[in-house]
């Protein structure tokens, strides 16, 4: 039975909790025992742990009778695929110095994974690499991955402290030769070429690394968190519970669709009687699963999570989904795109506030009834900024004359209908033209636009407003008045693999709009390019270049950078701003998702080593594009040279 639901449409895999079991050759009984005990699936060893290929006699090998497993008929295909995650024998050591053990391990790994694939299991748990070298293990697994089908492989990795974590300096914790377990995973996945079917199952121990160190894992393909009963504390009533840090981590796992698996024997003497509101679930004749108290606690953590706010529900389907950025000058937007933008009431309320402040500054109270302010909305779309400006005029009791300039002839049709419907004919003049080519009959007091992209200038707001600036009065006001782009390095394994699946250069040199979710933000954002409007400098150019240095916190440990998340922050007017830069993001605004600049080859950054990044904004006669690269700790190619893969058309 799932842990619960956060809202009616919750389809997250993290609703399902599994249990790690001992080997049992009676699989139907093992499954029934645990499913009736409330668990959704079992993490079960498929083969007899005493089996070793080298101990099988020659005649058996020649007859191809494999003595290591029972029949696939003991469960239905749907039971195998829905309720069983296979567990590869833990004795396997493919990098052992013992030749016999190594050969046995290689044969057993291939046999067990072939059997798991035959059973149509969705996933199989691989044992943790033993020792510091895992090259032969990775080599054997990589061969298997080439012809595996759709099954996921979860590599078991302990969530251990890195050497740079101050808490990890405790000699009682750190054994000889202790290394960061993330390094073990990173080495393994690099040897396996970032294969998309290779994932992680984290062993959660009683002691956790620093928050920065743990944070790395949310950009990795973690599918399960195995929580041992030894990691649970005991509350005042004698029931198992988790520390505050473990609680926060578990909740974060739920939010990232990471399934919890309970492992180990019960170590709490749970008092007799119900353990909670659902204590009688799966109780037959007084029988309770010995790990039910642990399952109930995990369910309690899931159920007490706040429900998704409306904005997050809207964004759920877009999480980690790569989208090409809009080309607003080259392409005419569709009605559906306009409709999505127009639903963002927060954005337009900010614009209304900015216009209201500008009107009050422009026209003193004593002149309010005598002076008419000329306001031009450039890129009017279907009219939301026109409406916001008129509401600002009504609120401040100022008189307005509006020019609504729009190049999309389809949107102009809707604008004419809106003006007629609202009775704005005496106030609003519709202009069907590109703002860069329009010859305005008079100059504007206020110029309003919503040409901002996820990276601020990536939808060519600078070029458009430069073209429209000629019909703004010298003391006129531009809304927005300035905007700045920001980037930060991220671990984003899923995005990297999605881009890699295209098997070409173009996709690695394209910037994507994406609702970032399964990413690890490993350093604070830094500003990149700033544009100010109006810009009257004779030497102004929209080309830009910026070199940035990022310091990864030392207690993070090593990390792999797959690319850069991009954001913007805009000043509309004076203290009215809007943006998506995480530390200053406008609450409940969903018009913009971040932008993602990938790296063709991920860069590994060691603790204490700065990451040096270069970004260029380049301008040609027909297009604008970005180029980017890393020069430290190692050099990457310069991406998107001459805009060969990605550009925005003028």
Q: Which domains does the chain have, with CATH numbers?
A: 13-167+177-232+259-264 (3.20.20.150), 335-450 (3.40.50.150), 482-649 (2.70.160.11)
* Whether residue 180 has pLDDT greater than 90: no
pTM across the whole model: 0.91
**Beta strands, E only, 244-300:** 259-263
Helix (H) or strand (E) holding 447: strand 444-449
Residue (of 417, 414, 400) closest to 342 by Cα position: 414
- Choose the most confident range, by mean pLDDT, from 18-32, 69-83, 476-490: 476-490
ω before 360 within 30° of 0 (cis)? no
What is the pLDDT averaged over residues 352-378? 97
What distance in Å separates the CA atoms of residue 604 and residue 601, rounded to the nearest whole number? 10
Given 106, 160, 459, 581, the catalytic residue: 459
What distance in Å separates the CA atoms of residue 304 and residue 84, rounded to the nearest whole number? 28
Structure tokens that stand for 190 in this block: 């690099």
> Is 312 flagged in the annotation as binding?
no
What is the pLDDT averaged over residues 124-149? 94
What is the pLDDT averaged over residues 33-61? 85
Catalytic status, residue 459: yes
What is the pLDDT averaged over residues 565-576? 98
Structure tokens that stand for 203 in this block: 């062993």
pLDDT of residue 66: 54
**With bands split at pLDDT 50, 70 and 90, how would you rate the model's confidence at 160?**
confident
Burial class (CB in 10 A: 0-12, 13-18, 19+), 176: exposed
Q: Are 500 and 194 in contact (CB under 8 A)?
A: yes
* Whether residue 82 has pLDDT greater than 90: yes
Structure tokens that stand for 605 in this block: 């950054």
Q: Are 614 and 527 in contact (CB under 8 A)?
A: no
> Is 338 flagged in the annotation as binding?
yes
What is the pLDDT averaged over residues 341-349? 93
Q: What is the mean pLDDT of the chain?
A: 90
**With bands split at pLDDT 50, 70 and 90, how would you rate the model's confidence at 170?**
very low
What is the pLDDT averaged over residues 313-334? 85
What is the pLDDT averaged over residues 62-68? 51
pLDDT of residue 162: 55
ω before 480 within 30° of 0 (cis)? yes
Cα dihedral 174→175→179→185 (10° resolution) = -100
Helix, strand, coil percentages, rounded to 5, for the chain:
30, 25, 40
> Is 344 flagged in the annotation as binding?
no
What distance in Å separates the CA atoms of residue 301 and residue 295, rounded to the nearest whole number? 10
> Is 589 flagged in the annotation as binding?
no
Q: Are 276 and 296 in contact (CB under 8 A)?
A: yes
Helix (H) or strand (E) holding 392: helix 384-396
Segment 465-508, tens digit of pLDDT: 998 999 999 999 999 999 999 999 999 999 999 999 999 999 99
| Percent of the chain whose pLDDT exceeds 90 | 79
In the chain, count H helices and then E strands.
Answer: 17, 26
What is the pLDDT averaged over residues 309-313? 78
| Percent of the chain whose pLDDT exceeds 70 | 92
* Whether residue 49 has pLDDT greater than 90: no
pLDDT of residue 454: 96
Burial class (CB in 10 A: 0-12, 13-18, 19+), 222: buried
Q: What are the two backbone dihedrals, phi and then psi, of residue 544, each rounded to the nearest 5 degrees?
A: -145, 155
* Whether residue 175 has pLDDT greater than 80: no
- CA angle at residue 611 from 610 to 613, to 5 degrees? 140
> Is 574 flagged in the annotation as binding?
no
pLDDT of residue 328: 75
Segment 418-438, tens digit of pLDDT: 999 999 999 999 999 999 889
ω before 12 within 30° of 0 (cis)? no
Residue (of 235, 232, 220) closest to 262 by Cα position: 232
pLDDT of residue 282: 45
What is the pLDDT averaged over residues 109-135? 93
What is the pLDDT averaged over residues 13-21? 93
Given 450, 463, 509, 627, the catalytic residue: 450
In terms of DSSP bridges, do strands 372-378 and 444-449 run parallel, antiparallel, or are they unpaired? parallel
In terms of pLDDT, which residue wins out, 167 or 112?
112
> Is 406 flagged in the annotation as binding?
yes
């Amino acid at each position: 039975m799932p842990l619960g639901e956060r809202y009616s449409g919750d389809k997250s895999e993290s609703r399902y909790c599994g249990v790690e079991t001992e080997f049992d050759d009676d699989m139907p009984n093992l499954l029934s025992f645990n499913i009736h005990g409330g668990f959704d699936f079992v993490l079960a060893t498929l083969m007899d742990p005493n089996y070793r290929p080298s101990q099988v006699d020659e005649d058996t090998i020649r007859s191809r009778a494999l003595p290591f497993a029972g029949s696939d008929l003991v469960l239905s295909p749907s039971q195998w695929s829905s309720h069983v995650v296979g567990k590869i024998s833990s004795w396997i050591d493919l990098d052992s110095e013992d030749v016999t053990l190594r050969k046995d391990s290689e044969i057993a790994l291939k046999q067990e994974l072939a059997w798991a694939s035959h059973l149509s299991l969705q996933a199989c748990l691989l044992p943790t690499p033993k020792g510091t070298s895992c090259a032969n293990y990775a080599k054997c697994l990589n061969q298997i991955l080439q012809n595996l089908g759709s099954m996921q492989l979860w590599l078991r990795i302990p969530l251990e402290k890195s050497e740079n974590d101050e808490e990890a300096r405790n000699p009682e914790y750190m054994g000889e030769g202790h290394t960061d377990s993330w390094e073990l995973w990173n080495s393994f996945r690099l040897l396996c070429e970032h294969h998309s079917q290779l994932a992680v199952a984290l062993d959660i121990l009683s002691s956790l690394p620093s928050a920065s160190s743990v944070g790395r894992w949310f950009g990795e393909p973690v599918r399960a968190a195995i929580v041992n009963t030894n990691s649970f504390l005991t509350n005042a009533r004698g029931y198992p519970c988790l520390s505050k840090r473990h609680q926060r981590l578990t909740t974060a796992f739920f939010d990232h669709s990471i399934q919890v698996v309970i492992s180990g024997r019960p170590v709490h003497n749970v008092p007799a009687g119900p353990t909670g509101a659902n204590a009688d679930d799966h109780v037959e004749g007084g029988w309770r699963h010995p790990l039910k108290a642990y399952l109930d606690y995990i369910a309690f953590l899931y159920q007490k999570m706040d429900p998704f706010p409306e904005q997050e529900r809207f964004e759920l389907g877009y999480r980690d989904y790569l989208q090409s950025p809009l080309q607003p000058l080259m392409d005419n937007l569709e009605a559906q795109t306009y409709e999505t933008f127009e639903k963002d009431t927060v954005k337009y309320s900010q614009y209304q506030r900015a216009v209201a402040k500008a009107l009050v500054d422009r026209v003193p109270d004593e002149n309010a009834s005598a002076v008419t302010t000329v306001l031009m909305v450039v890129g009017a779309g279907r009219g939301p900024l026109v409406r916001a400006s008129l509401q600002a005029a009504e609120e401040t009791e100022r008189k307005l004359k509006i020019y609504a300039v729009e190049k999309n002839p389809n949107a102009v049709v809707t604008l004419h209908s809106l003006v007629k419907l609202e009775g704005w004919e005496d106030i609003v003049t519709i202009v069907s033209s590109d703002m860069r080519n329009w010859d305005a009959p008079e100059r504007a007091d206020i110029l309003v636009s919503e040409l901002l992209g996820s990276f601020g200038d990536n939808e060519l707001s600078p070029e458009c407003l430069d073209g429209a600036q000629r019909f703004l009065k010298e003391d006129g006001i531009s809304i927005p008045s300035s905007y700045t782009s920001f980037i930060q390095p991220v671990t984003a394994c899923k995005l990297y693999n999605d881009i890699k699946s295209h098997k070409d250069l173009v996709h690695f040199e394209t910037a994507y709009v994406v609702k970032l979710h399964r990413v690890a933000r490993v350093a604070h954002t830094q500003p990149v390019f700033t544009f100010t409007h109006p810009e009257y400098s004779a030497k102004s150019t929209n080309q830009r270049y910026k070199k940035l240095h990022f310091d990864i916190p030392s207690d993070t440990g090593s990390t792999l950078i797959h690319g850069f998340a991009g954001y913007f922050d805009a000043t509309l007017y004076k203290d009215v701003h809007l943006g998506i830069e995480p530390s200053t993001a406008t609450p409940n605004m969903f018009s913009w998702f971040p932008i993602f600049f990938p790296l063709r080859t991920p860069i590994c950054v060691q603790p204490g080593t700065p990451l040096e990044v270069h970004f260029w904004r380049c301008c040609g006669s027909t297009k604008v594009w970005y180029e980017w690269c890393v020069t430290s700790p190692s050099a990457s190619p310069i991406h998107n040279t001459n805009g060969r893969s990605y550009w925005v058309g003028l």
